[in-house]
Amino acid sequence: MLLRRIGLCCCVWLLTVHSRAQQQQEVMHQDDQILQHSHVVIRNILVSGNKKTKQYIVSREITFDRDSSYSISDILRGIQTSRQNLMNTALFVDAAVNFINWQNDSLDIYAEVKERWYIFPLPYLKPVDRNLNVWLKDYDLSLDRVNYGMKLIVQNVTGRNDRLNAWLIGGYTERFAMRYYNPFSDNSLRHGWGIDVSYNRNREINYTTVNNRQVFYKDPKAFLRKQYYVGGLYSYRKGSVVRHYVRAGVQGEEVADTITKMNPNYLGGGQKRVAFPEIRYTYQYFDLNYIPYPTRGSSVEIDVLRRGFGGKTDLTQLQVRYGQYFPLPKKYYISINAEANVKLPFNQPFFNQQFMGYYETFLRGLEYYVVDGVAGGMIRNTVGKEIIRHELNTGLKSKTYGKIPFRIFLKGFADVGYAYNKSNININPLNNKFLYSGGVGIDIVTIYDVVLRFEYSINQRGESGFFVHRGEVRN
């Protein structure tokens, strides 16, 4: 009995240390025999700071259940995981999870959150090129290649982490779009749904690729490309790590006669208009300490896309992404990100061939190039170290925005990749070849999941340069 009292006193002391230095939690505590065999009961889960967010949405991300017994090891591990889950909801500027009211063999779990601003009616101004580096080098920051208009972002519309986005855009692309997504639409907080409607039209179009660079054609007096999409989304999320999404909709593409003459394979078979159903299934496993910039954990994404069912458009695509992040002593970390992609059949029209250089799929150091393809993959390897962690005092009398946190990482990286294509390989020398690049950089991570990347890279051609990216791509 005396040993049990001593053990529980040790547990109280260890939990107190944990609450003061949550981020320095030592793994060895979890292996201690006293912590594993001493149990406490969770009486209540208390939440504060949630003015808009429903309390059950916050409680959902906390790994404990009321009136349940846990070992001290589970408590220590669960407190850390619960804070990680709360931050990964993108609802809060900051979150803290601790224990309070320890009495005999029971205690309360207390979560304190700081909510973000959720409504952003913003003027919209964004270059259309694949990245800022292309816009600067190839087009001298031309305003002709900028979309402008209004964008309405409403997050946490009903306090259930639902989101409404609406765009009314002019400039390079004339665009109207609206998306709504409610991830927790039922009492079990597992099922979600969404809608997505958009219409775009352009006077300029990337109709082919030469020397692994996009080639454009522009007609100031006519719209060369028109697109529309109408679709719905179903999601399922039982726990905090695994997510399932099913999207289904109808997409249409139409191009001018000029484009089909310049590239008969743009839509395939000399077509100038196609419309097709598509269905997409996405599996996500995110066990990461912080999704926008992870330094610990692992992730898996599997995406299966089917376009067309017996029509002229025929595409089955499988995309797999894997990430592994290893924390090391003295704030170092190692990350490995891999991606593989295959599109069947291999004979695809031009608009279905986008691969490297688009969206999140690129090798650092090859930002100025695109490598169209129907099969291939890449691996990005990074070694980083956090060199600065600082909070900027804003002078605002606000618990949420009185201080803005900044973290700065120094990193080195090496990337490899390969993209196979049956079309136009004679005029695109990077196709069907082993690609590699490397470099060094600095990443800045701050409020609202903003990640800025400044990188100096060199590729296999011996070309070097300084590149800037904003978020989106993991390490």
The per-residue pLDDT string of the chain (475 residues; one tens digit each, 9 = 90 and over) reads 433 443 444 444 444 444 444 444 444 444 566 667 778 999 999 999 999 999 999 999 999 999 999 998 899 899 999 999 999 999 999 999 999 998 888 999 999 999 998 988 877 777 777 777 777 777 777 777 787 888 899 999 999 999 999 989 887 888 999 999 999 999 999 999 999 999 999 988 999 999 999 999 989 889 999 999 999 999 999 988 999 999 999 999 999 999 999 999 999 989 999 999 999 999 999 999 999 999 999 999 999 999 998 778 899 999 999 999 999 999 999 999 999 999 999 999 999 999 999 888 999 999 999 999 999 999 999 999 999 999 888 888 777 778 889 999 999 999 999 999 988 788 999 999 999 999 999 999 998 889 999 999 999 999 999 998 887 666 7
pLDDT digits (tens, 9 = 90+) for 25-40: 444 444 566 667 778 9
Residues of the chain with CATH 2.40.160.50: 183-470
The contacts found for 133-136 with CB under 8 angstroms, 24 or more apart, are: 133/367, 133/368, 133/465, 133/467, 133/468, 134/367, 134/368
372 SS3 class: coil
**Model pLDDT, residue 474:** 67
Q: Which amino acid is at 254?
A: E
Class of domain 183-470: mainly beta
The reported pTM is 0.85
Query: What residues contact residue 300 under an 8 Å CB cut-off, 6+ apart?
Result: 283, 284, 285, 320, 321, 322, 323
Domain with CATH 3.10.20.310 in the chain: 2-115
E strands, 189-314, are: 191-202, 204-210, 213-218, 225-236, 242-255, 273-288, 297-307
User: Residue 445 has what pLDDT?
Assistant: 95
Question: What is the CATH code for 2-115?
Answer: 3.10.20.310
In angstroms, the CA 156 to CA 202 distance is: 33
* 270: three-class secondary structure by DSSP: coil
